[in-house]
Structure 1
Amino acid sequence: MIEARGLTKRYGDKVAVDDLSFTVKPGTVTGFLGPNGAGKSTTMRMILGLDRPTRGTALVNGHPYTHAKAPLREVGALLDAKDVHGGRTARAHLLSLCQSNGLPRRRVNDVLELTGMSEVAGKRIKGFSLGMSQRLGIAAAMLGDPQILMFDEPVNGLDPEGILWIRNFMQSLASRGRTVFVSSHLMSEMALTAQHLIVIGRGKLLADMSTQEFINQNSSARVRVRTPHAEALLDALAAQGTTTRKVDAFIEIDGLTTDAVGDLAAKHNVTIHELFAQRSSLEEAFMEMTRDSVEYHATVGDQQVPATVGGAQ
């Protein structure tokens, strides 16, 4: 289990993490979300003892990670896939980690096979693509067969097969009772991978809840309808002051249930081909939640939008 209690990190006048408290529990994949500059990477670094908090504490299994007697057996972490010695081979890199942490040599072959890296074990790391480097970083994180896994943007550079593999891999780890804490800016992937979300903005906690609860609380259900009598239905909806918009071949309707729309269509002899409730995606809910926490905005036409959806910071 990972616990953050009042974590605060200042860099001069800038507050990167601001009195942040949360718990990451075993048995579930917990997504860590926030806009660029929200403080996600800084928080992860403080949990691992790589940065010292200005105030507050970060505990791993009840103690600071810096006190761990066998670090790789307790936590496996991937923060920066390219932060390795490029002149070493993949096997040599993993072997050095085994030797420095008192792990058996056989674990090198185990994790190379686990991550699909066996065929490139003898190649130098500097020639690796980002995807290969990500797999090597995951292999290193698994060397000690730890109960806690922390991944910062683990699917960067992976192809679709690799993304599906890491998704299933993280979920299988959680299903076996391990703690899995993953930061990502890919909302569509987090919606499929994480059962719980911790969302921060400008270093502050914005949400700590299940993924479905987060979507439900930060979005509203809309109704979509497809009809060959679109103008007649639009006139009927406008007459009662209902907000509508055209989305591809559908009319999207706010504030009414599917039953209400169906009844209205029947009253005006409007034929319905499709009628269903449309709930916001995780990305839409995330944008709604964090709109006031984004540091930089870009302008598209007359509309101001966040410059990025998320990131590793």
Structure 2
Amino acid sequence: MIEAQALTKYFGDTVAVDELSFAVRPGQVTGFLGSNGAGKSTTLRMIVGLDRPTSGTATVNGRRYADHAAPLRELGSLLEAKSLHKRRTARSHLLALAQTHGFSTGRVDEVLDLVGLGAVADRRAGSFSLGMGQRLGIAAALIADPAAVILDEPVNGLDPDGVLWIRTLLKELAAEGRTVLVSSHLMSEMAVTADHLVIIGRGRLLADTTVAELIARVGVGQVLVRTPAGTELRELLVRHGATVSSDEAGLLIVNGLTAAAIADLALEHRYAVHELTPQRASLEQAYMELTRTAVEYTADETAQRGQAEVAA
């Protein structure tokens, strides 16, 4: 399990992570979401010991990552696909990692085949495309058969087949009982991959929930209404706070009122309704609604935040 307790990080006067607490449990894929500048990368770096918290703790299976005797067995991570020795071959890169934990070349070949790089194992990593670099980074994360895995934007640079492969891999890792934390900006992928979501904004926790619970809680779904009294019902619903659009006569798309509320109003005013269908909101809609007030970093603010991190 990966746990953050009141995790806080300052870069000078800039608060990157602010009293952040959450737990990532084994046996499920947890999506880690947030806008640019939300503090995701800093949080992941603190978990693996690359940044020191200003206060609070980040632990992997009950200990700080650096305190484990064999840390790669506890947690494998991909935070930057191209952070490798570019003149080394894929095989030698992985072998160097494997030997730190007593693994043989057999394990290297196993993970190379797992990520689809077996045929290019003896090519220098510096010649790899972004997608191939991602695959090599994932191989490095899995080299020690870890109990937990962190992958930051793992589908960057991958073609559709590669995206499907990542989706399947994450689910398989979780099904094996591993702790899986994956950061992504692709809401469509998180909607079909993640079992749980941790969402942050401006360094603070916004949600720790499932996809279904988030959508239900934010409540940004629409209701499709078919009625012969389109004009009259539209005016009525608008007076009660709804936003109504229409693509054709007699068809209303209603936001801001539930299907039950629409039905009650139509019945009260004796308007016939031929169809009343709630439309399930997407994860992207729910995410945008949730983070609406937590993504207001301007370009200048983001640049200042980056400069503060570099200076620190």
Q: TM-score range by the shorter chain?
A: 0.7 to 0.9
Corresponding residue for residue 244 of structure 2 = 245
Summarize the Cα distance change of 1:237–1:83 in structure 2 as closer, same or farther, 3 Å threshold.
same
Whole-angstrom CA distance in 2 between matches of 1:161 and 1:79: 22
Whole-angstrom CA distance in 2 between matches of 1:86 and 1:32: 29
Whole-angstrom CA distance in 2 between matches of 1:12 and 1:40: 18
Structure 2 unmatched ranges of 5 or more: 303-308
**Partner amino acid for 2:146?**
P
Q: Kindly state the Cα deviation for residue 144 of structure 1 after the two structures are TM-superposed.
A: 0.6
Contact kept? 1:244, 1:251, Cα under 8 Å: no
- List aligned pairs for 1:63-78, cutoff 5 A: 63-78=63-78
Contact kept? 1:36, 1:295, Cα under 8 Å: no
Corresponding residue for residue 141 of structure 2 = 141
Corresponding residue for residue 34 of structure 2 = 34
Contact kept? 1:8, 1:53, Cα under 8 Å: yes
Paired residues in the alignment total: 295
Deviations along 1:55-74, one digit per CA (max 9) or x if unpaired, are 11111111110011112111
**Partner amino acid for 1:179?**
T
Q: Kindly state the Cα deviation for residue 120 of structure 1 after the two structures are TM-superposed.
A: 1.3
Which is further off, 215-224 or 69-78? Answer: 215-224
Q: Kindly state the Cα deviation for residue 237 of structure 1 after the two structures are TM-superposed.
A: 3.4
Contact kept? 2:37, 2:297, Cα under 8 Å: no
Question: The residue matched to 2:30 in structure 1 has which SS?
Answer: strand
Corresponding residue for residue 125 of structure 1 = 125
Whole-angstrom CA distance in 2 between matches of 1:9 and 1:244: 41
Summarize the Cα distance change of 1:268–1:210 in structure 2 as closer, same or farther, 3 Å threshold.
closer
Contact kept? 1:34, 1:200, Cα under 8 Å: yes
Contact kept? 1:245, 1:253, Cα under 8 Å: yes
Identity, % of aligned positions: 55
Corresponding residue for residue 153 of structure 1 = 153
Question: The residue matched to 1:200 in structure 2 has which SS?
Answer: strand
Whole-angstrom CA distance in 2 between matches of 1:258 and 1:36: 38
Corresponding residue for residue 281 of structure 1 = 282
Q: Kindly state the Cα deviation for residue 251 of structure 1 after the two structures are TM-superposed.
A: 2.2
Whole-angstrom CA distance in 2 between matches of 1:281 and 1:233: 26
Summarize the Cα distance change of 1:269–1:8 in structure 2 as closer, same or farther, 3 Å threshold.
closer
- TM-score, L = length of structure 2: 0.87
Corresponding residue for residue 230 of structure 2 = 233
Q: Kindly state the Cα deviation for residue 156 of structure 1 after the two structures are TM-superposed.
A: 0.7
Whole-angstrom CA distance in 1 between matches of 2:21 and 2:262: 43
Query: Greater helix percent: which structure?
Result: 2
Summarize the Cα distance change of 1:264–1:131 in structure 2 as closer, same or farther, 3 Å threshold.
same
RMSD of equivalent CA atoms? 2.4
- List aligned pairs for 1:39-78, cutoff 5 A: 39-78=39-78
Q: Kindly state the Cα deviation for residue 263 of structure 1 after the two structures are TM-superposed.
A: 9.8
Question: The residue matched to 1:215 in structure 2 has which SS?
Answer: helix
Deviations along 1:144-191, one digit per CA (max 9) or x if unpaired, are 111100011111111111111111110111112110011111111111
Summarize the Cα distance change of 1:162–1:247 in structure 2 as closer, same or farther, 3 Å threshold.
farther
Whole-angstrom CA distance in 1 between matches of 2:69 and 2:243: 61
Contact kept? 2:220, 2:285, Cα under 8 Å: no
Is the counterpart of residue 190 in structure 1 residue 190 in structure 2?
yes
Whole-angstrom CA distance in 2 between matches of 1:11 and 1:262: 54
Q: Kindly state the Cα deviation for residue 225 of structure 1 after the two structures are TM-superposed.
A: 3.5
Q: Kindly state the Cα deviation for residue 221 of structure 1 after the two structures are TM-superposed.
A: 3.3
Summarize the Cα distance change of 1:248–1:193 in structure 2 as closer, same or farther, 3 Å threshold.
farther
Q: Kindly state the Cα deviation for residue 100 of structure 1 after the two structures are TM-superposed.
A: 2.5
Whole-angstrom CA distance in 1 between matches of 2:117 and 2:84: 16
Summarize the Cα distance change of 1:88–1:21 in structure 2 as closer, same or farther, 3 Å threshold.
same
Q: Kindly state the Cα deviation for residue 76 of structure 1 after the two structures are TM-superposed.
A: 0.9
Which of structure 1's runs of 4+ aligned residues deviate more than 2 A?
A: 219-222, 234-237, 239-251, 258-265, 267-270, 295-298
- TM-score, L = length of structure 1: 0.87
Question: The residue matched to 1:191 in structure 2 has which SS?
Answer: helix
Contact kept? 2:98, 2:143, Cα under 8 Å: yes
Corresponding residue for residue 303 of structure 1 = none
Question: The residue matched to 2:82 in structure 1 has which SS?
Answer: coil
